[in-house]
A and B are shown apart, each in its own frame.
Chain A
Amino acid sequence: MESFLQQILQGLKLGGIYALIALGYTMVYGVLRLINFAHGDVFMLGAMLSIYFARWTGFGNQPSWLGLGATLLFAMAVCGAIGGVIERVAYRPLRNAPRLSLLIAAIGVSLLIENVGQLRQVFGPTPQPFPALIQTKTVAQWGSLTVSNVEILVLLVALGLMAGLHVFVHHTRFGLAMRAVAHDHQTAGLMGIPAGKVIFGTFVLGSALAGAAGVLWGLSYPVINPMTGFVPGIKAFVAAVLGGVGSIPGALLGGFLIGEAESLTAFYLSSTYKDAIAFVILILVLLARPTGLLGRKEVEKV
């Protein structure tokens, strides 16, 4: 029983990170109908650049809340900027191109980030340790079930950011514009909403969340290399589709579902099947509900 709960806790932590990444996928898909393949790599950059930041500022040597907060903010700011640049340079010129071309451009950006990152002059191919920004402590214990402060922290930060996003999307003018563009590009344009700016802002926002997710990932799985983003990226995208791509609550639900499923599969079945379970669930759900758990059904008008 305790080991089951321990796995559930693991799953929550993992799921929170997936959900944060999934939000970026879902928001971008909402406004641009693009699977932003580079998103997982932005997440990786969040983790990787934080290592350098912590080294440079010295936060990595003495764990402190200040250091953690500063690193988190740094990662969000830098990733937000990177996301914005990617949108401007690689995606905007393709606004009217076939959607598949846009997708290939996204794949290209993803490969570019990974391959540049592997250069010796940049990060290099070898994994780098993520600094202990806070001291890992057991904060609660019931029998063999232990809860560490990192787990609590990751979950709280993830939930906090998601709550913030919810408020932002539902209670600001930008959020309203974003929803309008997601609902219908053309009409939004006709109503005077600057779709270009909204798309740009969405990329910045989504990438900032990915940056935060990068730091949280680093705290939990403290080895990072330039390829770190690929697998969590794909899984987070699966989470987004599972929940219903375009739906923010869907991303949450999907993220936590995948996190739990993985952690339980690794424990009860075999860790080699851990990577398959996300896809098995995805396929079963899509066959029953082709637009995901919370996705809107779209009827084609003829």
Chain B
Amino acid sequence: MKVFWQNNMALLVVLLVVAAAGFGFQRHLDPYYYKILVDVGIAIILVVSLNLINGITGQFSLGHAGFMAVGAYASAALSVLAAGPWLNGLALGGAQKMVVEFVALGVIVIVGGVAAALAGFVVGMPALRLRGDYLAIATLGFGEIIRIVFQNTEQLGGARGISIPPPRSDFTGVYVCAVLCVAFIWRLVHSVKGKSFFAIREDEFAAATVGIDTTKYKVIAFVLGSFFAGVAGALFAHSATGYITPAQFDAVKSIELVVMVVLGGLGSISGSIIAAAALTLLPEILRGFAEYRLVVYSLLLVLVMLTRPQGLMGMKEIKLPWHRQPYQHKPVA
């Protein structure tokens, strides 16, 4: 038990800090900046989870927005049909309301994640037999099909979109999810078994000959990646705007996410976090240049690739100072 607490102390502290910060930001931060911060948090979840598939396991998925859509719509359906009316009926106020909404958000987010994970499993099982560019184009196709299906589902608002009742995903909710997502994926892929994900990316064939069930790990990566995409989707659907349309989850969104993964460095989780934050902030920073901002954005993309094709971080990681190792070897001299 002692080891468990030592291992998780830092994580708990971070989560508490996030909660406290969320509390403060809600009162004292300009809503515009608050919204950008929330967007950054959602982007981090999306990019880190996509990195698990594309960077760490080396499978090239171009359909992440599709799984985000599944999470968003599943959670939206839950909120519209059940959670929203139920919360409304309770007519709570004050601290009580906050706690209940936070818990409700947790349930909604998990439902979104599970729905996306199921979709990921259904898509991943057949698709992962394909390799490289074929997998890319097939996942792009799945993403688009998912979007078009939502577009044609009138019960969910069709192409017009659907508006979603509270609870709202605030800073605390989003960043608790982001921190857990990063911590879980990091811990998984740096465990002994979890290194299999990297092994598949390095040499799928050699991985099989040391006994790694490559198909299983590819599916795990895909399902887990989709789960977090669904979580992000649910958070996105419940963000302040409270309105989603299928067009928000199109191929362009998927491409944007791949771009962030590559810019951060394929396989580098810290790189993904930096890229997600930077590329979400950049268009906002460039807002002053209004119509030139997208031009600058795309120009930067090309320039970064030309000067640093391995991305910002390559495969390197920034390790936190309290990073713990299960075993420290004393070399026999």
Contacts and interface: CB of A to CB of B under 8 A. Distances in A.
Q: In the complex, is A directly touching B at CB under 8 Å?
A: yes
Nearest to A117: B295
A273 B145 CA distance: 9
A104 B310 contact: no
Interface stretch (B27-35, B69-77, B132-140): B132-140
Interface in A10-44: 29, 33, 35
A44 to B, nearest CB: 15
A112 B137 contact: no
Contacts of A300: 205
Interface stretch (B101-109, B176-184, B299-307, B318-326): B299-307
Interface in A238-290: 238, 241, 245, 270, 272-273, 275-276, 278-280, 282-283, 286-287, 290
A247 to B, nearest CB: 14
A33 B298 CA distance: 23
Nearest to B206: A302
Contact of B302 (A112, A120, A272, A282): A112
A165 to B, nearest CB: 22
Contacts, number: 124
Interface string B275-311: 0000000000000000110110111011001100111
Contacts of A275: 144, 148
Interface stretch (A47-55, A93-101, A127-135): A93-101
A108 interface: yes
A57 to B, nearest CB: 29
Task: Select the residue from B133, B137, B262 with max chain A CB neighbours within 10 A.
Answer: B137
Contact residues of B: prevailing secondary structure: helix
Given A94-B306, A119-B291, A286 B145 contact: no
Given A104-B262, A118-B294, A279-B144, A238 B305 contact: no
8 contacts: A35-B137, A101-B309, A101-B311, A104-B262, A105-B306, A108-B302, A115-B294, A279-B140
Interface of B: 54, 60, 126-127, 129-131, 133-134, 136-138, 140-142, 144-145, 148-149, 151-152, 159, 205, 251-252, 255, 258-259, 262-263, 266, 291-292, 294-295, 297-299, 301-302, 305-306, 309-311
